[in-house]
Chains A and B, each alone.
Chain A
Amino acid sequence: RDESLKEAPAIPPSNLSDYFKQFLFPQNECELHNFRLSFSQLKWDKWIIAPHRYSPQYCKGDCPRVVGHRYGSPVHTMVQNIIYEKLDSSVPKPSCVPAEYNPLSVLTIEPDGSIVYKEYEDMIATKCTCR
């Protein structure tokens, strides 16, 4: 907190609300991003019959310093952040990673010509966290 006070500009910024907005909604913070692919792009549509399109999604963004409440992160995340900032910067900052997933149903043709419907675990990211 004292550091941010030092960084605070002596002259109050013209527009206070914009100034505080950066603390309330920091830019490119860790969050879930959309990504859609079709198996025909990978040329796998010869043996993957369904679904035609698959949205695995992904997590990207900076992990704020005080992550406790917002991301369901364990306290260890803040400890790791303090280690990075104060003790040893070779220790990586906490990363923005998926926390929860949805399964995916896939219909495929097997090499022997038989057809299989299978439900795979953890194939679509639905929630991000900092760890």
Chain B
Amino acid sequence: PHSRARVVPDKTSGLVVAPEDTASELHPLLQLPKSLRRGYALLPPLLKVLSDRGPRNWESEAPRLQPDSRALRYMKRLYKMFATKEGVPKANKSHLYNTVRLFTPCSECKHRHRDLMKGDFHSVDLLFNLDRVTALEHLLKSVLLYSFDTSLPISSSITCMCHLSVKEHDFSSQVCPSISRSIAFSLHFEVRKRKWVKIDVTSFLQPLIATNRRNIHMAVNFTCLMGDPQNTKLEYPINMAPVPPSLLLYLNDTSEQAYHRWNSLRHIRKNPVRPRQRNSPRVDPLGDKGKENPQGKRASRRR
């Protein structure tokens, strides 16, 4: 908003929306009337391209950064778990999220300290940029996803000590120290064919993501030993460097275009035959807006 030429990412959809006066110099689509443009900016990327005049606009889009191959493999696996071959979401009532975002760290600086006694001590500084998360996407769960590319014997048991700290740059104070909150926990798991380990960091990251933090800066220290945790004599360090973790966010997208499974379940129960009314209020399972109070319903029925 300060400089004329600068464009500001729109908080609701993460799309770039130019201030009034520079719109005409930018993308032809931004010359749409304001009302149309506001609606247009709200569209998630897939619907934005479907509403474009033609694929040429989309092909002129800046080339995308290629995702990490391991992350891609994991998300394809997740897709197969959640959707049928035709792409229809499986009627899985257990989860309320309709969006899962995977972020790979955009920058990392490794400080490797070798300490033979305790195994390969591996600390990584990670920065995740969450610009793509829109204001209408509410966080339900966040997970650090590790993939171990090791040639460890299958079904070996591993115990890892993980130390996680988040660096928040506090701009309010003059000195602006980087306050870091940290958490330490141990992790014990068996390495089977599947080499994914998920660490739930929901409560740890919730305050940051809830305040619409766009960048999350964290340091992760990892020490792993293989063998029986009860009998330390049998334990020996593993010379393995876990690949820097990805950050998985499970979100509930409350926008009109997103699929709200509890709504369709509620709809089927209520009026099984008639086609769904489009303007029914979206019920947010976590909030109580849009819910009628039972007395009100009974009273109206009695009337």
Contacts and interface: CB of A to CB of B under 8 A. Distances in A.
B83 A51 contact: yes
Contacts of B253: 118
B64 A129 contact: no
Interface string B227-256: 000000000000000000000000001001
A117 B64 contact: no
DSSP majority for the A interface?
strand
B274 interface: yes
Interface stretch (A16-24, A39-47, A58-66, A78-86): A39-47
A106 B100 CA distance: 11
B280 to A, nearest CB: 12
Contacts of A105: 79, 82-83, 87-89
B104 A114 contact: yes
Contacts of B59: 43
A110 B64 contact: yes
A67 interface: no
Contacts of B83: 50-51, 105, 119
Contacts of B78: 117
A104 B90 CA distance: 10
B174 interface: no
A70 to B, nearest CB: 13
Interface in B276-303: 276
A48 B46 contact: yes
Interface in B58-85: 58-59, 61-62, 64-68, 71-72, 75-76, 78-79, 82-83, 85
Contacts of B221: none
A124 B88 CA distance: 9
A49 B76 contact: yes
Contacts of A50: 76, 79, 83, 87
B61 A104 contact: no
Interface in A51-107: 51, 53-55, 72, 99-100, 102-107
A119 B75 contact: no
Contacts of B101: 114-117
9 smallest CB-CB distances across A and B, nearest first, come from A113-B65, A51-B87, A105-B83, A103-B259, A119-B259, A99-B275, A119-B98, A117-B100, A121-B259
11 contacts: A43-B55, A44-B58, A72-B274, A100-B275, A104-B259, A105-B89, A111-B62, A112-B65, A113-B64, A120-B47, A121-B260
